[in-house]
Amino acid sequence: MSGGADRPGLVSAAGLGLVGVGGAEPADPARRGPDELRALAEEAGRELEGAPALEIARWAAETFGDRFCVTSSMADAVLAHLVSRVAPGVDVVFLDTGLHFPETLKVRDEVARTLPVNVRSIRPRLTVGQQDGQYGPRLFNKSPDDCCQLRKVEPLERALAGYDAWAAGLRRDESPTRANTPVVTFDARRGKVKVNPIAAWRQADVDAYVARWNVPVNELFKQGYGSIGCWPCTRRTRAGEDPRAGRWAMFEKTECGLHV
C-alpha cells in the first residue's frame, strides 16, 4: 500500500527538488517565516503523497535539521524508531501529563534506553495536586477539554517553541476525524510544518514494522485497549468499536486538542 515501509519504486525525497533534499544546502532554518514554511509544507504535501514513510521522514530531517522533532504518546515506538533511522539523535517529545498508565511510562523509558533518540519529557506547569487545588478535583471528569488544555496542549506549545517542524504518528485508519490526514501540512495554529509519515499506514503495516524491528509497544494493547491516553479518560474497547472509542467515552470528545 502507499506509505508502507521501505517499498522500492516510489519517488524518493531526493528527487523532489525541495529545499534541503538531494544534497542541496538548506536555507538557514532560523530565518524561515510562516509564509516560507507554508509553501514548503504545501509543496511537500503534494510531492510526498504516496512516498514511503521513511522517505517522508528523511525529507523532514534533511529539510529542518535540528529544528525538527518527533512527538510520541508512547503507545508504541514506531515513529520514533522510523525517524531515528534517518535522523539519529532526533528529539522525541513526550507529554508527561502526570496521569499516564505505568505501562506508557515503561515504553518511554525503554525508548530512551534503547533507541538513538533524545527523549524530552515535558510536564504541565501545574502538578495534578496543584491543578486540583486551583480548578477542583478530577477536572478530567468535569471538563476534559480544560484538562487536556492544561496537561497536553499548553505543554506542547512550549515544547515546540524551538522547532520549525514536528512529526506525529497520526494514521488515516484510526478514526473518521483522521481519515484525511495529509503526509505533510502546515499547522497554521502553531506556524509550523506538521509531518505525518505513517498517515497512509494501516494497522497491518504497524504490526509488520513492530515485528520486523522489535519495536517497543505498550502492553495495554494486549489487555483490550484500542487507543491509550491518560488513565482516567481511557477504557478498553469492545469488539467492533472504533479504536478511539475508549477515549473520553462519557463525553462527545474524540481528540485531546493536539491535532485539531
Query: Looking at the annotation, which residues are catalytic?
Result: 256
Name the pairing type of β-strands 165-167 and 184-187: unpaired
Q: Which three cell numbers stand for residue 215?
A: 519495536
Answer yes or no: is 69 a known binding residue: no
Cβ neighbourhood burial of 25 (10 Å; 0-12, 13-18, 19+)? exposed
Bridge pairing between strands 68-71 and 165-167: parallel
Report how far residue 178's alpha carbon sits from residue 176's, in angstroms, rounded to the nearest whole number: 5
Task: Report the candidate in 213, 172, 229 with the shortest Cα–Cα distance to residue 196.
Answer: 172
- Is 250:140 a contact under the CB 8 Å cutoff? no
Q: Are 150 and 131 in contact (CB under 8 A)?
A: yes
CA 200/CA 182 separation, integer angstroms: 9
Query: Amino acid identity, residue 193?
Result: V
Residue list, annotated binding site for [4Fe-4S] cluster: 147-148, 230, 233
Q: Please enumerate, by residue number, every residue annotated as part of a binding site.
A: 147-148, 230, 233
